[in-house]
A = this chain, B = another copy of it.
Amino acid sequence: MMLIFVLIIGIVSTSFQKDNLRKEPVITSKTITQVAVVVKDIEKARQAWAQVLGVKVPEVSIAESHFSRPTLYRGDPSDAKAKLAFFSMDNLQIELIEPLGGNSTWQEYLDSHGEGIHHIAFAVRGIDGMEELFDLRGCPTVQRGGWDGGAYSYIDASKDLGCMLELLENY
């Protein structure tokens, strides 16, 4: 009897805590560092953007799984790769992304929407805790990974906020 009572108290209090956590602020940083456009052909897109902005055509780099935080796509290991190019504006970067195979949110977006603005990226601290808080709000982490010196997580906040967010943490 006592055990059942303790169990019930436990369940109610956990659910109460979760409910409170669900209403907590998640992103305390107010700095948006990137807006990213998924494209089919980064060669063509980086030339066009450079011409429109009157700037040098940026280098292309490759995003791929890194041992520091291996790429996961919907919880499973993924060999997702992409070509990236960055344009530095006064106050943030415009990022171009061309998916190069492997299961990824980039390819998924391209398949279902065509080219377009994939996400808004926030500079954050404590990326793992944030994933949990978003999850409690019904916003799952669709893809996560890292590089030498940093970590990223894509949060599908479409149900809640109407779009995809990226959390970016530089260690």
Contact = CB atoms under 8 A, between A and B. Distances in A.
Given A23-B51, A30-B90, A91-B91, A162 B116 contact: yes
Contacts of A54: 24-28
B115 A39 contact: no
A158 interface: yes
Given A116-B113, A117-B116, A52 B92 contact: no
Contacts of A57: none
A81 to B, nearest CB: 19
A53 to B, nearest CB: 6
Interface string A31-66: 110010111100001001101111000000000000
Given A94-B120, A113-B113, 5 more contacts: A25-B51, A27-B53, A32-B91, A32-B92, A116-B158
